Structure 1
Amino acid sequence: MTAPAVYDHVRLTDEDHPDGTYRVVGVDEEAETAALLRVADGEGRRVHTGDVVAVDAAALADAEPAENPDENRPLGDVLASQVTMLYWSARLFGGELAAHPAAAAAAGVLLLVGLANERASVLPEAAASVVVLAGALALASVGSGRLSR
């Protein structure tokens, strides 16, 4: 096997390491050792072990190239992961708004005033657009946790 590059995937054939697919996460300058993260079990199923191992050039020479386990996930798993991520993102956003009620209310008022101007026509159209943009950006800033930092 040629010298590995970061993000290459290999399957170690030695007895010293658990069976599975490993992602190269670091290589020294001389390519004599590499840091590998175990990303799949022996059957190619994605795992999140956090196992990082250092291997020398001899073990790398015996390693077989392997397929990235992230590229063979079933569509149902990908969609379920996206729905879960959307849930946690919304929960985090709502939690940040609840943690800063005054800032969230001020941003919400700006947004609503700009949006209500479409019916009331109190502000010029350009000013209403600026108010909507400012309210949306302020709400995004509060909800993203920027005020907590």
Structure 2
Amino acid sequence: PWKYSSKGKFGNVANRRVNTIVDHEINPDSNMVLGEVLNDPGNWSGYLPHRHPQPECYYFKFDHPEGFGASFVGDQVFKSVDGSFSAIPGGELHPQAVAPGFQMYTCWMIRHIDGNPWLQTDRCEDERYLWLHEAQF
């Protein structure tokens, strides 16, 4: 089931709906996590910038063929377009954003590390931005 994540936080510009299809909690025998995200136009995803030790991949689709966004991987920024993907090595910060006027769909996959499966609690937010949790916009 789709659930809103971060709705109303960060000046109301990190609204996204998340659907986790399979993870360690749903199927402990799986060696991966698979989920979907729908980003509201002009919003951030994976915000605050976060990292985890497991590698992750994103596949992007947009509601219009000219739609675009930005995928941050560490200190690099890549333009996300319809049908593109992003490969994130473990340990790298990786937020994303979608341009105003476009809805972004992301299929995300995380490969479990042997003996260290990804869990919802593994998300490690960048400490430089933790103050934003309490900020008034």
Q: TM-score, normalised by structure 1?
A: 0.21
Q: TM-score, normalised by structure 2?
A: 0.22
Greater percentage in strand: 2
Q: Tell me: higher relative CO, structure 1 or 2? Use CA pairs within 8 A at least 6 residues apart.
A: 2
